[in-house]
Amino acid sequence: MDARVLDNFCVVLYRPRYPENIGAAARCCRNMGIPRLIVVRPHRLEEERMLKMATHEAKDLIETMSVFDHLEEALAPFHYVVGTTARTGRQRRPTHTLRDLAERLVDLGLNNRIALLFGPENQGLTNSQLRLCQSLVTIPTAAFSSINLAQSVMIVCYEVFMASSPDKMTWPRLATTEELEGMYRHLKEVFLAIGLDNPQNPEYWTTNARRILGRHGLRPRDVKLIRGFCRQVLWATRNKGHLGD
């Protein structure tokens, strides 16, 4: 295995309820070569309970993990975010099988920071949180679909680990979550300015833009181009009364 492929991977736990699951997730990361753990708005951070499950081998992941209050802030520096969900539907269709996605992620991993995002044990990630993701995955199960948080982390990290190998193709650096979110806010402003407004679903056009653009792995220059287009449209709409002068 080429260890460099996994250097840019990180597991992100959003609102984990139990310190033991944080510790167990750290152990999974150590088992599968994922070097970093982030926790966002945990219910409790009890070091002794986390370390008991992490064991001595993953102690450093607990000691160096980053803790954030806001998910968007935690994901801001990442170029590609994978969200996990057990519930599917029109708003949250998985975009890849886990195994196929893992192969793409290791291709991306040499030049891009990848976040593997997991939601709270009792309810998972909401639609608004999943909008921050470029891909969604569901872990297939038989009749009983509920999987412990640490088990989910292990399964996803295992697939990434198994897909990592030398001589993979490399992808260029992608736009970060922070850059993408700025672009989507800019697009939403354009949609409102030109009358693309759906009172029953104010996020309709932005959600569809996320779905379409999120498939393509936008690079920073792509984001700049789209935002340049947005600026021109907004300038034109604000000055339309003067265009004939």
Using 50, 70 and 90 to split pLDDT, how confident is the model at 122?
confident
Q: Tell me, what's the pLDDT at 243?
A: 42
Q: Tell me, what's the pLDDT at 231?
A: 92
- List, by residue range, all CATH 3.40.1280.10 domains of the chain: 3-163
Q: Per residue in 179-216, is it b (16+ CB within 10 Å) or e — as a string?
A: bbbebbebbbebbeeeeeeeeeeeeebbbebbeebbee
Q: Tell me, what's the pLDDT at 223?
A: 93
3-state secondary structure of 14: strand
Q: What rounded mean pLDDT belongs to the chain?
A: 88
Using 50, 70 and 90 to split pLDDT, how confident is the model at 240?
confident
Residue 242 has pLDDT above 60, yes or no: no
* 121 against 199, higher pLDDT: 121
Q: Tell me, what's the pLDDT at 29?
A: 96
Q: Does domain 177-242 have CATH number 3.40.50?
A: no
Q: Tell me, what's the pLDDT at 161?
A: 92
Highest mean pLDDT out of 23-27, 136-140, 143-147: 23-27
Residue 245 has pLDDT above 50, yes or no: no
**Burial environment of residue 219 by CB neighbours within 10 A (0 to 12, 13 to 18, 19 or more):** middle
pLDDT digits (tens, 9 = 90+) for 86-105: 766 565 566 678 888 898 89
Q: Which helix (H) or strand (E) holds 164?
A: none
Please state the pTM of the whole predicted model.
0.72
Q: Edge to edge, what strands does the sheet with 66-68 contain? A: 66-68, 37-40, 9-14, 114-118, 80-84, 135-137
- List, by residue range, all CATH 1.10.8 domains of the chain: 177-242
pLDDT digits (tens, 9 = 90+) for 166-220: 555 566 788 999 999 999 999 999 999 888 888 788 888 888 898 888 877 899 9
pLDDT digits (tens, 9 = 90+) for 20-39: 999 999 999 999 999 999 99
**What CATH code would you report for 3-163?**
3.40.1280.10
Residue 85 has pLDDT above 90, yes or no: no
Q: Tell me, what's the pLDDT at 169?
A: 54
Q: Which helix (H) or strand (E) holds 166?
A: none
Q: Tell me, what's the pLDDT at 89?
A: 59
Least confident range of 92-96, 138-142, 149-153: 92-96
